[in-house]
Structure 1
């Protein structure tokens, strides 16, 4: 037993959502999920999975299969709806918060570049979250891509999932003509929320925008996300989705 293992209630939710059949297998799919959760939490390599789990090749096969079938996206959406409903909120959010996070590289074979503003060599995660900080959409680029340049592709990803967002809060990096372009293409209204220049007041969290910063701190709880160890951007995105799924499963 590991702390990352699914409870029976959590597994039944996954099984029902993804409509897994009950045919006989050598390894229960629940064990496969436990192995993937263990990998994301501890940051170990695929080949370094403990002997308690099936062979890493089998775990990776199911991971890649579920990724291609967009199972992680479906499960993330259903979990987010359930948690919001349990909190007395509408299942579909109308407000989003957008920001980016530069992440240091940990794989010298992966694409990476240098973020001159944050002084970070690696990749950049662009995300949109709801008012609870739960992930709505993610897109990964190299670190030197400016937020305003990536915003169009991020909105395209958000639109692909048919998310009925009306207003998206953002920082000053998204100022300019990108606001009008996104409104014309996707119908999303970008509201730029700036930090106050009054230094006498000391540090003060920016209204609602601090929520996305908290989401980034949640990512740091999983060692697989502290640095970018993935070769492909798609895999980097999937690891964030799995980490969010793991978080939401603990809230149902």
Structure 2
């Protein structure tokens, strides 16, 4: 058992190291003073972080991504929360079909979705619309919210709700004072996961953005096809730090273990 434990620990450590190595390399290159992407770095410098400010297109794209991710994640939660409560708590005809429908975007490659959305938006005459870009992102990220809401609903103790009903509380009061606090970690985790996926989405967004609605990943992709300087690493480092900060804050408030396992 001890030997197997040591082998398992070594294997998992190597897997984690393999996953984190690209992020560590990006963070290191972001602070290089050189003009090219080189390792090892010759000293530390904030040169390429300051260079971001000289490209207003990146600042605009960053703002677009923030607005898009916030709106998409919020709308996804508004759709997934009532659907998840109904699917997770009730038994009704078409329940399995509805669950599969909400999760179906996970089965379709984002490349295929991007082409489909491009054709569909062209037929509607709404190509380049920020509103319809939000709709596309909502469809793509809703399954992430749905899965965590379902996990939170499955893990909650319904005896507290029954006790509240027995004391005369209304359905709205029970939801607000009992149900919502119990599934809040799943809701928050689902929203944050949807936000991150929307913010980082590239493959589908390439097809449905316009010059006025270009997101940060799309702008970075366009820039990377024309230049190989370390500014891409500095922008990536900023995104990594923002994401890590959000995950750390969420862990301190709710605990990632509760969010990921749905309060089981």
Q: Specify if TM > 0.5.
A: no
**Which is richer in strand?**
1
- Structure 2 length as normaliser, TM-score? 0.24
Return the structure number with greater helix share. Answer: 2
Give the number of the structure whose alpha-carbon radius of gyration is greater.
2
